[in-house]
């Protein structure tokens, strides 16, 4: 098992940014598709629809990534095994 052989600090140093980027990009793309479908019925130009959908997707994916990363970062900061 990889988790039994690595301590918390080594897990963070080995895998720190990868899970956050996975969550960020997955949430960005799925939210972007949903946001495009949400703004389709409005009578707006295509660039405006794209801007609104990209804004919604960016804000939502950033929130999701912070929800995942912040608890991990706090646990790592408070970990006495550094």
Q: pTM of the entire structure?
A: 0.63
Cα–Cα distance, 35 to 38 (Å, whole number):
5
At 81, list the tokens.
Answer: 């095994």
Cα–Cα distance, 65 to 27 (Å, whole number):
8
Residue by residue, pLDDT tens for the chain (82 residues) are: 444 454 545 445 555 556 667 777 888 899 999 999 999 999 999 999 999 999 999 998 888 878 877 777 677 777 766 5
Q: What are phi and psi of 50, to 5 degrees?
A: -65, -40
pLDDT of residue 2: 46
pLDDT of residue 80: 66
Report pLDDT digits (tens) over 15-25: 555 666 777 78
CA dihedral 51, 53, 59, 62 (to 10 degrees): -110
Domain boundaries, the chain: 9-78
């Amino acid at each position: 098992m990889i988790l039994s052989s690595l301590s918390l600090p080594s897990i963070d140093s080995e895998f720190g940014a990868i899970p956050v980027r996975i969550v960020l990009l997955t949430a960005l793309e799925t939210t972007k598709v949903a946001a495009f479908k949400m703004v389709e019925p409005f009578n707006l130009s295509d660039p405006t629809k794209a801007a609104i959908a990209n804004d919604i997707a960016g804000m939502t994916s950033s929130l999701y990534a912070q929800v995942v990363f912040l608890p991990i970062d706090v646990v790592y900061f408070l970990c006495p095994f550094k």
